[in-house]
Structure 1
Amino acid sequence: MPVPALPVPALPVALPVPTTQPPTTQRSQAKENRRQALLTAAAALFAVDGFNRVSLEDLGAAAGVSGPAVYRHFTGKQAVLGALLLSVSQELLDGGHRVVAESDGAAPALRRLVEFHVDFALSNPDVIRVQDQDFSNLADDDQAEVRTLQRNYVELWVDVLAGLHAGTEAAELRMRAHATFGLINSTPHSVRSHGRRMGVRRARPLLESMALAALLAPAAPPAH
């Protein structure tokens, strides 16, 4: 009697590996790229002309879209300003935490915080100028959130400074941090004024050394 042939199991069919991103991902990435382009354009335009003098048409044209197309990404011009200052404030706080977490001790952490903030100031002069001149144009909720993020960033520096100035009151350490930010954040004005003679490459080490000197200086003796 012939032996019946056993069924041969079907081999799994290999699915083709996609070589490109799905259309949804591509659209999402394109939308995010356009949003970032609008924020970059807003920083440049607001820094030069001020928030009140820039129209949505100006903003769209600088980013390569029409004025009404801005509404696909933001509810209005004030929302653009809010997104700009909120995003950079969050980036500062996140970057500061990362620097401290990766540092071994207060002294290395302080040095790296200074380097981090100087790099931010040299890379974002327009944002610093917008913060200085147009903060009051933020919506109330955005003002409160930006203040909270920036306050937390200051306290991060205060915690590091406390490890280097034992027994010093937090109020004095906070003043040191604020004074240092003022020194470093003057970069948009000083580099633009003296950039041809000095340049960013020379400005960076000078700002870092001046900031560290101020932060590490001994406390002033009490007034009599």
Structure 2
Amino acid sequence: MPTPKNARRDRAEDRRRQLIAAAAALFADRGFPHVAVSDIAARAGVSTPTVYRHFTDKQALLFAATQGGVDTFEQLTEEALRTEAGRPQPDPARAVVTAATTLSVADPGATSLWRWTGQHLSDEQDREVVRRTRTVLRRWAAAIAESRPDLSERESMYLAGATLSVAGSLLARTPKNDRVVVEATVQQLIWRLLDLHPASAPPLPEPISPADTDGGRRDEILDAAARLFADHGFPGTGMDEIGAAVGITGPSVYRHFPSKDAILVAIGQRSALRLEAGALAAAMRTSGPAEQLDALVDSYVQNITGAPDLLVALTSGYALDGDPSGTELLASQRRYVNRWIELLAAARPELSAQTAALTVRAVLAIVNDAVRMPRSTPQPEFAARMAYLMKGLLDS
């Protein structure tokens, strides 16, 4: 029978787990900035002061929830790569597929958290999450290399990271009654990935999007703000920092933009225009849906790796919730993705509408996730290999 001291400790641990689970579900559903500590308390069925007895603030809860997702990542990987007798799995690549699929099914909300919430963690917390994630990805990469000895270590890491992105992109917001279909799609896409050879990626063609505007003060501000938002997050960047980055005072920025939100809107609009220009150029310069889809891949990769605008629009759009401009930006993003889905359905008519949509989401997740890993993007071959992996999944 537990002693009173042990019983209190057990109750405290149970309460912490309850609060972490409630926070993880809310963060994954609404996004970190749109969840208050009182919301977490209500979800867990406790008072707000009770939350503060266990966690110093909302960020501490986010870190705990994110770490919980990484815990699951580590545990499932260990289980998949070892037999019941403790020996290595005879088919390590299959073990990676099992681990990736099981991870998404087991804890899709937490999986989404540790893939996308780095900008809301402290630098130290984010480094810890990245370190632990990379450690497990190296195990995946080693397992892939064991089945594919023709791959270099870097190629295996590319495939491991892409595998994680595919698994995490599809199941997090999928209705439970569709899980069987989605799980099968995940596995098919991952097996297709594991047959690819990233070192064979051809170089990307010259960008098909037209040049940007004249580069006046307004664009200088947008360029600086996009870099700062990408590096420090939208909440962590002030108008003074934006002004300093272009050699003017913070108040001077207001001569060009009435608010920080307006700067974010302009970054999103500029990004949307670049994507639209790339899509129109692809339609004019190609014949047939398969070629057009290939050109869209090239354009998208060039946009997201060439400037921070697109990544900022994807990761900071939550700040415009309720803003009509933000609603329109979200609608334009959806229209753009739907164009991909329609082209894939036309290029591969054997796919169901659901499978075409799932495939496009997985394809975009590969590069969307990878650009957030700071050690990857400086590599000169990065963009070409991203496009190669994406086209390999589209099989266009």
- Per the normalisation by structure 1, the TM-score is 0.74
SS at match of 2:257: coil
Q: Which residue of 2 aligns with 1:213?
A: 392
Aligned-pair CA distance for 1:187: 3.2
Alignment of 1:8-47 (within 5 A): 33-47=216-230
2:291 corresponding residue in structure 1? 108
RMSD between superposed Cα atoms in Å: 2.2
Relative CO higher for 1 or 2, CA cutoff 8 Å, sep ≥ 6? 1
C-alpha distance in structure 2 between counterparts of 1:72 and 1:97, whole Å: 33
Q: Confirm or deny: 8 A CA contact 1:93 1:150 kept in the other structure.
A: no
Residue 52 (structure 1) aligns with: 235
C-alpha distance in 1 between matches for 2:391 and 2:352: 19
Is residue 86–residue 142 contact of structure 1 (8 Å, CA) maintained in 2?
A: no
Q: Secondary structure at the match of 2:349?
A: coil
Gap regions ≥5 residues in structure 2: 1-212
Structure 1 runs (4+) deviating above 2 angstroms are: 126-133, 167-172
Offset at residue 48 of structure 1 (A): 1.5
Is the partner of 1:52 in helix, strand or coil?
Answer: coil
Q: Partner letter of residue 135 of structure 1?
A: G
Q: Residue 69 of structure 2 aligns with which residue?
A: none
Give the match for residue 250 of structure 2.
67
Deviation of 1:129 (Å): 4.0
Are the aligned partners of 2:221 and 2:242 in contact in 1 as well (CA < 8 Å)? yes
Quote the offset at 1:169 in angstroms. Answer: 3.0
> For residues 251 and 277 of structure 2, what CA distance do their matches in structure 1 show?
33
Q: Once the 2 structures are TM-superposed, how far is the Cα of residue 81 of structure 1 from its aligned partner? A: 0.8
Deviations 1:155-192 (A, max 9, x none): 211221122111433332122112111112223234x2
Q: Which amino acid aligns with 2:334?
A: R
In structure 2, what is the Cα distance between the partners aligned to 1:63 and 1:71? 13
AA partner of residue 216 (structure 1): D
Q: Closer, same or farther in 2 for the Cα pair 1:127/1:137, shift >3 Å? A: same
1:162/1:132 CA distance change after superposition, 3 Å: closer
2:259 counterpart of 1:76? yes
Identity among equivalent pairs (%): 27
8 Å CA contact 2:363, 2:393 repeated in 1: yes
From 108, 127, 134, the equivalent of 2:309 is 127
Out of 161, 185, 188, the residue aligned to residue 371 of structure 2 is 188
User: Equivalent residues in 2 for 1:145-184 (5 A)?
Assistant: 145-184=328-367
Q: Distance in 1 between matches of 2:365 and 2:237?
A: 27
Which of the residues 99, 106, 118 maps onto 2:301? 118
CA distance in 2, matches of 1:208, 1:81: 27
Offset at 1:113?
A: 1.3
1:128 is displaced (CA, Å) by 4.2
- Take 1:174 and 1:164, find their aligned partners in 2: how far apart are those partners? 13
Amino acid at match of 1:33: G
Structure 2: how far apart are the matches of 1:110 and 1:61? 41
Post-superposition offset of 1:82: 0.9
Q: Secondary structure at the match of 1:193?
A: coil
Contact 2:221/2:246, CA 8 A, preserved across alignment: yes
1:127 deviates by 2.8
Q: Deviations over 1:43-99 (max 9, x none)?
A: 111112222222211111111222111111111111101111122023212321221
Distance 2:301 2:284 in 1: 19
Task: Return the alpha-carbon distance in structure 1 between the equivalents of residues 265 and 219 of structure 2.
Answer: 13
Deviations 1:3-40 (A, max 9, x none): xxxxxxxxxxxxxxxxxxxxxxxxxx98x610000000
> What secondary structure does 2:221 align onto?
helix
Number of aligned positions between the proteins = 183
Residues in 2 aligned to 1:194 and 1:204: alpha-carbon distance in whole angstroms:
10
How many angstroms apart in 2 are the aligned matches of 1:209 and 1:195?
Answer: 15
CA distance in 2 between counterparts of 1:41 and 1:74 reads 13
Partner Cα distance (1:86, 1:195) in 2: 24
**1: distance between equivalents of 2:351 and 2:295?**
22
SS of alignment partner, residue 72 of structure 1: coil
* TM-score where L is the length of structure 2: 0.43
